[in-house]
């Protein structure tokens, strides 16, 4: 696929067929993604790709922790609650997803069920856990680098007919993820991505999220000189 088509057509996938992704295909995806730029070519990322029993243990552990009221224990600093225009955009995409999934905005039980799907990595056959070297935990560049690597992963996956959703919920209980995925102590858990072949019957997979107008994002200077 041409890059522009790929970038414009990609969207997050939150409903998956159970089919496993062959390990060789995952290897190809990672090999494409690792060509992203990184600060001083440090390439500070690590990827732990889990499937089968290991992923099931993470799903179960996340679910038990969330339902029994264990406080979230991420290893990264979070933003807290979004406010203002960020909150409005968060609500807008949630409304689009809930509408597609037939979830009433005020239906707490259905919304809770949707949230639990996120903690189960959307029941995807594969989850990738993204880490950086722990000694770079204060380096904003390292998180920027990992973000680029993850965008490469989701684009390379989409190019092969594989859907994905980058999933912050997946590391909300990082102690669970660390234990079952056997993450080395010198790595910091930052993010996950759930990946698999899209279930086309899952209506929320068709949601096209909105984007801010380009002229609101960009300030041009010196072009009229």
- Residues interacting with ligand FMN, by CB under 6 A? 11-12, 14, 93, 118, 165-169, 191, 209
Q: CA–CA separation, 27 vs 147, rounded Å?
A: 19
> Looking up tokens 């609101």, which residue turns up?
216
The one-character DSSP state at 125 is: S
Strand, coil or helix: 26 = helix
Q: Smallest gap, in angstroms, from Cβ of residue 32 to ligand FMN? A: 18
Cβ neighbours for 43, distance < 8 A, ≥ 6 positions apart = 34, 145
60 contacts 68 by C-beta, under 8 angstroms:
no
11 contacts 207 by C-beta, under 8 angstroms:
yes
> Looking up tokens 């979070």, which residue turns up?
78
Q: Which is nearer to ligand FMN, 14 or 180 (CB)?
A: 14
Q: Which is nearer to ligand FMN, 62 or 169 (CB)?
A: 169
Q: CA–CA separation, 189 vs 174, rounded Å?
A: 7
11 contacts 204 by C-beta, under 8 angstroms:
no
Q: Which is nearer to ligand FMN, 42 or 96 (CB)?
A: 96
Q: Which is nearer to ligand FMN, 14 or 48 (CB)?
A: 14
Q: Smallest gap, in angstroms, from Cβ of residue 133 to ligand FMN? A: 19
Q: CA–CA separation, 172 vs 77, rounded Å?
A: 11
Q: Which is nearer to ligand FMN, 11 or 111 (CB)?
A: 11
Q: Which is nearer to ligand FMN, 93 or 95 (CB)?
A: 93
Q: Smallest gap, in angstroms, from Cβ of residue 122 to ligand FMN? A: 7
- Euclidean distance between the first and the last CA atom of the chain, given in angstroms as a whole number: 38
């Amino acid at each position: 696929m041409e890059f522009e088509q790929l970038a414009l057509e990609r969207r997050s996938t939150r409903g998956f067929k159970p089919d496993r992704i062959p390990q060789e295909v995952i290897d190809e995806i990672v090999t494409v993604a690792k060509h992203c730029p990184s600060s001083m070519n440090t390439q500070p990322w690590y990827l732990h790709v889990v499937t089968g029993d290991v992923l099931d243990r993470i799903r179960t552990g996340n679910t038990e922790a969330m339902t029994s009221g264990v406080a979230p224990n991420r290893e990264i600093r979070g933003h807290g609650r979004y406010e203002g225009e960020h909150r409005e955009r968060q609500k807008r995409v949630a409304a689009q997803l809930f509408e597609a999934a037939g979830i009433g905005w005020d239906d707490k039980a259905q919304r809770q069920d949707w949230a639990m799907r996120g903690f189960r990595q959307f029941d995807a056959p594969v989850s990738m856990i993204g880490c950086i070297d722990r000694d770079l935990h204060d380096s904003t560049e390292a998180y920027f680098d990992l973000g680029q690597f993850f965008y490469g992963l989701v684009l390379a996956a989409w190019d092969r007919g594989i859907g994905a959703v980058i999933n912050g919920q997946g590391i909300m209980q990082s102690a669970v993820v660390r234990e079952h995925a056997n993450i080395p102590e010198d790595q910091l858990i930052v993010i996950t991505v759930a990946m698999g072949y899209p279930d086309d019957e899952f209506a929320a997979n068709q949601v096209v999220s909105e984007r801010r107008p380009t002229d609101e994002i960009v300030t041009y200077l010196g072009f009229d000189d």
